[in-house]
């Protein structure tokens, strides 16, 4: 009987972890913040393709 108490002992911790996990993932999923660094990276890649900057570098 005493052993069963272990589950009850950690239940609050687990619940807390679960809640924290949900909260954290919700923050990321909603992602209201504009990912500026990722946008810059994506822009550079597209611009390099459109202006063919890589090719010019190789040609030089």
Residues that bind other proteins (CB under 8 A): 3, 6-7, 10, 13-15, 17-18, 21-22, 24-25, 28-29, 31, 34-53
Q: How far is the CB of 14 from other proteins (least distance, A)?
A: 5
Q: Tell me how far apart the terminal alpha carbons of the chain are, to the nearest angstrom.
A: 79
Nearer to other proteins among residue 43 and residue 59 (C-beta):
43
Min. distance of Cβ 48 from other proteins in angstroms? 7
Distances (CA, A) of 23 to 27, 30, 32: 6, 11, 14
Round to whole Å and give the CA distance between 12 and 58.
Answer: 61
């Amino acid at each position: 009987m005493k052993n069963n108490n272990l589950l009850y002992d950690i239940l609050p911790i687990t619940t807390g972890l679960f809640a924290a996990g949900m909260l954290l993932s919700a923050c990321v999923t909603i992602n209201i913040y504009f990912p500026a660094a990722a946008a810059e990276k994506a822009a550079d890649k597209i611009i390099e393709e459109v202006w063919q900057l890589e090719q010019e570098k190789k040609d030089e």
